[in-house]
Amino acid sequence: MLSIYRKEYAKKHVAERKRYMEEWAQKNRERRLLQRKIKYENSPEKEKERAGQYYQTHKEERKKYASKYVKDHPEQYATYAAERHALKLNAMPIWVDKEAIKYFYEEAKRLTELTKIPHVVDHIWPLRGKGFNGLHVPWNLRVITSAENNSKSNKRPV
């Protein structure tokens, strides 16, 4: 009921409201200009431009940090890279236990450090086989030596 009253009041006092708004705009000219400036500076286009400038000015610094991180955390990067590859191939179900997969990459790193022989995580059933595709899931992974992995080809296990 109150909103009906307001609508009727607004219809009756159109000229009065218009005059009030013009007066307010004149009195608050500086405030309105500042609000417009802030709105412009916080616009998505400006944010995108600022992000691009930041990226360009800190490009080398970010590259150094990224390469140092990869060097210091090889098992985490290997886990990430394998997950990304599997997602691109649609070979990783959404319900998979990522912690279980991460364990294989940590184990490969541990065995490499322990034996000084490079170990890698291998898919028993390849992600891209001939006529079949394996999944990036824990029961399709194993840790083997790098030499053993390089000697086998993309074949289904016997």
- What CA–CA distance (Å, rounded) separates 24 from 7? 21
Please state the rounded mean pLDDT for residues 114-123. 94
Q: What is the pLDDT of residue 144?
A: 94
Does position 158 have pLDDT exceeding 70, yes or no? Answer: no
For 31-66, letters b (16+ CB in 10 Å) and e give eeeeeeeeeeeeeeeeeeeeeeeeeeeeeeeeeeee
Token pair for residue 5? 């009253």
Does position 1 have pLDDT exceeding 60, yes or no? Answer: no
Q: What is the pLDDT of residue 28?
A: 87
Integer angstrom CA distances of residue 2 from 17, 124, 131, 156: 19, 72, 71, 75
- What CA–CA distance (Å, rounded) separates 98 from 105? 11
3-class SS at 122?
Answer: strand
pLDDT digits (tens, 9 = 90+) for 75-98: 888 888 888 888 888 888 889 999
pTM of the predicted model as reported, rounded to 2 decimal places: 0.53
Helix (H) or strand (E) holding 144, with range, is strand 141-145
Does position 3 have pLDDT exceeding 90, yes or no? Answer: no
Does position 127 have pLDDT exceeding 90, yes or no? Answer: no
pLDDT digits (tens, 9 = 90+) for 16-58: 888 888 898 888 888 888 887 777 777 788 788 888 888 888 8
Indicate the average pLDDT of the chain: 86
Q: What is the pLDDT of residue 157?
A: 58
